[in-house]
A and B are shown apart, each in its own frame.
Chain A
């Protein structure tokens, strides 16, 4: 009966991304969603508890905007959600996110498995999972596309550059998941409606035990722009001309 924690991020929808004058990115009117790989994490938690019993606690961190995420997350399997929610956390970087999430996790008496997406859809820094593991002093198994519980151990397959590394680790551990781990199911009517009844716990910075200084991001973002294209953008009229260009480039 494992106690599973799933961390998810409420990200801006990059489909709503607009490019403003001077190449500045504009996400003012963007909607939000649960980051793609985090859905795989939520699905895996649901699959695990369907098979082994146990409970799922969803956890997320951010500013006031994350309140709207609770229903979405709760419709995907968790029994409850903890929102580490504070205005100072709105621009959290990986360092402060991991700090906050780890503090939220510590409010729970015990856990066996913490599942995270291997990277978030917006920043894709791929840091929070391993950082949380380091802070909580548990192992991290990252880039997992197959997971099996084995008593008080977990066996994971990690998809790495040269092939698969099969790792066996003692619980509790943090696991970061790849999208090919599973196919998240779309919440049905009962789950959507059931979500409204599940408990939501909100912890602000103070409740998490932090003062402002500790939650100051260690990275500052100077600019976010659309990728520049310095290409020549010449057009040729026929294949013969194109072939000439290719051959010249090779000589």
Chain B
């Protein structure tokens, strides 16, 4: 490897790639950040909300300048069945400054710009076709006719990731239960309308998750996030579910937008964007091999996504894993050793950080979610049914105690035994 070679090539300028490039550039390494979209962020999508702790660690000096949308101060979870909805809401001024809604074109562009400002070279509109491999070691990339050698490559390509396979990293077969499709529409609404409608102050926002009718009982759910002057509305559905019930996300979206719990929230909003993206949801179970000779894998490409229903995390893992990948390579460069044994320190760092700690901790969540269809079908029905009856006073229906209503609502849908079991399992997995 000549001295002209780049130190690191980072593939993908999403949060993982940009974070890695930024940390590497700050340490004075020669790094190229290659993005296939015309600009960082254009090919990325999120619901979405960012838990900002990782951003603060990454950019301690200027994270306040990051283009975040609204600070989330209202969290809602809605269970829908038919046209009925039961919503649980948590609103608190005590919510710390930790959670913001984001728009990826703005956020990713800012992150990539930070990396460039620190000295990383950003090449947009370029697709990496292949890893260059010599004697089993990754020594660079090929983009079209151009080959670029480097001491190491960080693959941060995202969910639909093909490069690690080329380096013979063990990548499991894509299990349709572990991958979801997210579909999202963005509606334009003036900021003051959003604030009135969602009862938030300027700069503050709401995050709402929906379960049940929105996915017609399949594993997955709907989401709504308030941005500065737009609303992000969408659905996530496992690919397995889609195939099994032969549903079209577009049809589900249309029904979701028209649902009485949703329609008033987006009323008058003009749809300005419609997109879809893959989301890896298997957690540690689907984590591929992320270390090889001269190669590290970070972000969604490494399966670092956690969907607990009430919390969906991917971007914070992405930024942190990008940072750790960079730190690993900085140490490797000092020793001039980019071999697998040295690079395995990446895993050590991940394990010591919240990334693998949290993913490991919640490792039963994906299975629980995938194996508990009652969460998406029966329970929303039970809840809406029971509460609707509880709140109905019409003078003719014979009065019943809450316990009776509960039992009647459960009848034919779930046994008490199942409810208890699900509660226990869920409480321990989520």
Q: Which residues on A are within 8 Å of B, measured CB to CB? A: 18, 29, 31, 186-190, 192-193, 196
Partner of B144, one of A18, A29, A188, A193: A188
Query: Which of A29, A187, A190 is most buried by chain B, counting CB atoms within 10 A of its CB?
Result: A190
B126 within 8 A of A: yes
Verify A193–B143 contact, CB threshold 8 A. Answer: no
Q: Is the CB of A189 within 8 A of B148?
A: yes
B347 within 8 A of A: no
Residues of B within 8 A of A190 (CB): 146, 148
B124 lies within 8 A of chain A by Cβ: yes
> How far, in whole Å, are A187 and B39 apart by their CA atoms in the complex?
14
19 more CB-based (< 8 A) A-B contacts, given A186-B125, A187-B125, A193-B121: A18-B272, A29-B272, A31-B38, A31-B39, A186-B144, A187-B126, A188-B145, A188-B146, A189-B34, A189-B123, A189-B126, A189-B143, A189-B148, A190-B148, A192-B123, A192-B124, A192-B126, A193-B32, A196-B121
The smallest beta-carbon distance between A75 and chain B, in angstroms, is 8
Nearest neighbor of A16 in chain B, beta-carbon distance:
B272
Task: Please state if B125 and A192 are interface contacts (CB–CB under 8 Å).
Answer: yes
Return the 9 tightest CB-CB contacts between A and B, nearest first. A189-B143, A189-B146, A192-B123, A190-B146, A188-B146, A188-B144, A189-B126, A193-B123, A192-B126
Identify the closest chain A residue to B142 (Cβ).
A189
- The residues of A that contact B123 with a CB separation of less than 8 Å are 189, 192-193
In angstroms, Cα B144 to Cα A156, docked, is 32
Decide: A188 and B143 in contact? CB cutoff 8 A.
yes
Smallest Cβ distance from B166 to chain A, in angstroms? 17
> Digit string of B296-320 for contact with A (CB within 8 Å is 1, else 0)?
0000000000000000000000000
Q: Which of A29, A186, A187, A192 has the most CB of B within 10 A?
A: A192
Q: How far is the CB of B34 from chain A (nearest CB, A)?
A: 7
- In the bound assembly, the distance between CA atoms of A186 and B146 in angstroms comes to 12
Question: How far in angstroms is the closest Cβ of chain B from A134?
Answer: 36
> Closest approach, in angstroms, between the C-beta of B17 and any C-beta of chain A?
15
Closest CB in chain A relative to B278 CB, distance in Å: 24
**Which residues of B111-132 have CB atoms within 8 Å of chain A's CB atoms?**
121, 123-126
* C-alpha gap A189/B9 in the complex (Å): 12
User: What's the Cα separation between A70 and B124 when bound, in Å?
Assistant: 14
The 30 listed contacts between A and B (C-beta, < 8 Å) are A18-B272, A29-B272, A31-B38, A31-B39, A186-B125, A186-B144, A187-B125, A187-B126, A188-B126, A188-B143, A188-B144, A188-B145, A188-B146, A189-B34, A189-B123, A189-B126, A189-B143, A189-B144, A189-B146, A189-B148, A190-B146, A190-B148, A192-B123, A192-B124, A192-B125, A192-B126, A193-B32, A193-B121, A193-B123, A196-B121
* Minimum CB distance partner of A192 in chain B: B123
- Which of A29, A187, A188 has its CB near the most chain B CB atoms (within 10 A)? A188
Q: Encode B19-35 as 1/0 by CB contact (under 8 A) with A.
A: 00000000000001010
Cα of A190 to Cα of B146 in the assembled complex, Å: 6
By beta carbon, the residue of chain A nearest B124 is A192
Complex-state Cα separation, A155 to B163, whole angstroms? 48
A186 to B124, CA, bound (A): 12
Q: How far is the CA of A190 from the CA of B121 in the complex (A)?
A: 12
B-chain residues with CB within 8 Å of residue A29 when the two chains form the complex: 272
Q: Which chain B residue has the least Cβ–Cβ distance from A68? A: B39
Question: Smallest distance from the beta carbon of A14 to chain B beta carbons, Å?
Answer: 15
Q: How far is the CB of B230 from chain A (nearest CB, A)?
A: 10
Taking CB atoms and an 8 Å cut-off, the chain B residues in 130-147 that contact chain A are 143-146
Smallest beta-carbon distance A203→chain B, Å: 25
Closest A residue, CB atoms, query B272: A18
Residues of B contacting A189 in the complex (Cβ-Cβ under 8 angstroms): 34, 123, 126, 143-144, 146, 148
Give the CA-CA distance A192 to B125 in the complex, in Å. 8
CA distance A31 to B144 in the complex (A): 26
In the bound complex, residues from chain B placing their C-beta under 8 Å from that of A192 are 123-126
Residues of A within 8 A of B34 (CB): 189
Contact residues in B for A193 (Cβ distance below 8 Å)? 32, 121, 123
Q: Which residues of the partner chain A approach B39 to less than 8 Å between Cβ atoms?
A: 31
> What residues of B have a CB within 8 angstroms of the CB of A188 in the complex?
126, 143-146
Query: Closest chain A residue to B145 by CB distance?
Result: A188
A193 CA to B32 CA, complexed, in Å: 9
A187 to B34, CA, bound (A): 13
Cα A187 to Cα B143 with chains together (Å): 10
**Residues in A whose Cβ lies below 8 Å from that of B124:** 192
Question: With A and B bound together, what is the CA distance between A196 and B123 in angstroms?
Answer: 10
How far apart sit A186 and B32, CA to CA, in the bound complex (Å)?
A: 19
In the bound complex, residues from chain B placing their C-beta under 8 Å from that of A18 are 272
A186 to B38, CA, bound (A): 12
Alpha-carbon separation in the docked complex, A186 to B126 (Å): 9
Q: Please report the C-alpha to C-alpha distance between residue A192 and residue B13 in the assembled complex, in whole angstroms.
A: 15
Q: Which residue of A186, A193, A196 has the most chain B CB atoms within 10 A of its CB atom?
A: A193
- Chain A min CB distance to B111 (Å): 18
Whole-angstrom CA separation of A186 from B148 in the bound complex: 17
Please give, as numbers and ranges, the residues of chain B lying within 8 Å of A196 by CB-CB distance. Answer: 121
Shortest CB-to-CB span from B69 to chain A, Å, is: 15
CA distance A29 to B228 in the complex (A): 14
In the bound complex, what is the Cα–Cα distance between A192 and B39 (angstroms)?
13
Smallest CB gap from A196: residue in B: B121
CB neighbours (8 Å) of B148 from chain A are: 189-190
A132 shortest CB reach to chain B, Å:
29
Chain A contacts for B146, CB-based, 8 A = 188-190
Interface string of B93-125 (1 = CB under 8 A from A): 000000000000000000000000000010111
Nearest CB of chain A from residue B105's CB, rounded to whole Å: 9
Q: Chain B's nearest CB lies how many Å from the CB of A215?
A: 31
Q: Which residues, 26 to 63 on B, are CB-close (under 8 Å) to A?
A: 32, 34, 38-39
Nearest chain B CB to A126's CB is how many angstroms away? 27
How far is the CB of A26 from the nearest CB of chain B, in Å?
Answer: 10
**In angstroms, how far is the closest chain A Cβ from the Cβ of B271?**
10
